[in-house]
Amino acid sequence: MNKYVVGVDLGGTKISTALADFEGNVLSQSIIPTNAHEGEERVLERIIKSIQSVMSEGDATLEDIKAIGIGSPGPLDSKKGIIITTPNLPFNNFNLVKPLKEKFNVPVFLDNDANVAAIGEYMLGAGKGKKNMVYFTVSTGVGGGAIVDGNICRGNTSNALEIGHTTVSPFGPRCNCGNIGCLEALSSGTAIGKRGQEAVNSKVETSLKKYDKVTSYEVFKEAANGDEVAKDIIDNALTFLGIGIANAISIFDPEMIVIGGGVSKAGDIVFEKVREVVKKRCFKAMAESCQIVPAGLGTDAGVVGAVALALLELDK
């Protein structure tokens, strides 16, 4: 009785669902296409089906399930269980929690995917055992989540830790959100690729010119091969990332910063630069007591995070 939780990672292209025990061990998993174009009711039906499918595969009855956790792109209102609007999903002020609660008769928790990833790292990943931890995801965008004294920091409107849209340079460039000088516009994978493409289109000499299309991957690669232009682009982007992280350390005084997302996969170059900037910009005591480490969860981070969300909320 009541021995499992279900996690649902709702994405624009796929719905990934898992049945897990209270230690977070995944017992059965389902991945199905979201088919977002079919509209909100059909996507809701598919979520229900995926939950039923992991339950039957894991031989779990309704009585065995203690809670459901859902991670979704935001913006959303986690208190009300409403997905407000999101570019790749059909939801528009849609209450996702209510129909699932009614269907399965268990508590259902919804949070944005960056918070869910942060909770996943805190409960089951690199941050296990820490009480104060800030998670950064650096890929096409920059997002994050903060665990403060063992709890996720959501803020008034559930949008706390929109860290990618904190201003780190008053002089630009303009971000997709409309603001100037956001961390995301300076240090995301997209930003690095854009700077690389700008270099290709300029008169400077760079080995990046041998590529038809330049993304952050090529910029990291050519930087590692010694191309000065690529090295500058990477150094600049990582300096701003370091500033964003130093700011988070000064605000939250965490035991650990966990960095995930595609850019973090570049490895040592990222972590060494970030640590160097943090050392320069934070109080010594805080900088020295804060580990800066790569994310511990792999490709299943989204759904494992959703499992962790259910476990964290149940634990309260």
Residues that bind Zn ion (CB under 5 A): 165, 175, 177, 179, 182
Angle CA(284)–CA(288)–CA(292) in degrees, nearest 5? 125
Q: Could you give the C-alpha distances from 229 to 121, 192, 216, in angstroms and in order?
A: 35, 12, 13
Nearest to 237 by CA among 281, 280, 205, 269: 269
For residues 252 and 245, give the distance between their C-alpha atoms in angstroms, rounded to a whole number: 10
Shortest separation between residue 307's beta carbon and Zn ion, angstroms: 30
Shortest separation between residue 296's beta carbon and Zn ion, angstroms: 28
For residues 280 and 217, give the distance between their C-alpha atoms in angstroms, rounded to a whole number: 28
Shortest separation between residue 98's beta carbon and Zn ion, angstroms: 31
- Report the residue number, 39 or 155, with the smaller CB distance to Zn ion: 155
Shortest separation between residue 202's beta carbon and Zn ion, angstroms: 25
- Report the residue number, 25 or 167, with the smaller CB distance to Zn ion: 167
Q: Which residues contact 128 (CB under 8 A, 6 or more apart)?
A: 122, 296
- Report the residue number, 34 or 137, with the smaller CB distance to Zn ion: 137
Shortest separation between residue 182's beta carbon and Zn ion, angstroms: 3
Shortest separation between residue 185's beta carbon and Zn ion, angstroms: 6
- Report the residue number, 62 or 177, with the smaller CB distance to Zn ion: 177
- Report the residue number, 154 or 165, with the smaller CB distance to Zn ion: 165
- Report the residue number, 17 or 166, with the smaller CB distance to Zn ion: 166
Q: Which residues contact 10 (CB under 8 A, 6 or more apart)?
A: 34, 43, 47, 70, 71, 72, 73, 89
Nearest to 264 by CA among 133, 164, 165, 142: 142
Confirm if 10 and 70 have CB atoms less than 8 A apart.
yes
